[in-house]
Amino acid sequence: MDDSLLAESGLLSPQQWALLAGGYAFGCAVLTAFLLSDMLGLFAEVIGLPAAFAMLLLATPALVAGAGSWWLLVERRGTVTYLRGAAFGLLTALVTGALWTVRFAFVWGPEMLAAGPVQLLVGVVFGAVSVAGVLVGLPITFARRRL
């Protein structure tokens, strides 16, 4: 189905779904950041993010990572499955976490990642956002399959 038929029928194009998925991932990342704000607030302070906008800034990479991973895993392949949707959420969470881990290493040096408490904090955050990412991928996959 070409884009002109999609526009006339009122359905979203694959590109629009990718952008919607990015926005959805950002919204879920903001919610997750606020739920983990005790740990992430400390992390944001350590890497020099302004406290007033820290949770929004921490979630921002999910906007681009979400759109890109949805396009890569779901739309480009043309197969909308729950496994691909879960992979979208997981990949989005891991890319977002990896970007902030790189930022931490840039500010404090890579050797700081070897410190025990830092490894624990990074591990807990990656674990929590990975589970959240997988769960976040399922509702948008459901919506995409139905619409």
Segments in the chain below pLDDT 50: 1, 3, 7
Residue 128 confidence (pLDDT): 85
Residue 99: predicted pLDDT: 95
The domain segmentation of the chain, as residue ranges, is: 36-146
pTM of the model: 0.86
Residue 34: the pLDDT is 92
The Cα 6–Cα 90 span in angstroms is 29
Query: What is residue 10's predicted lDDT score, i.e. its pLDDT?
Result: 57
Q: Which helix (H) or strand (E) holds 100?
A: helix 82-108
Q: Which own/partner contact pairs does 20-24 have at CB distance under 8 Å and 24+ positions apart?
A: 20/140, 21/66, 21/67, 21/70, 21/74, 21/88, 21/140, 22/62, 22/63, 22/64, 22/65, 22/66, 22/67, 22/68, 22/70, 23/63, 23/66, 23/67, 24/66, 24/136, 24/140
How high is the pLDDT of residue 9? 54
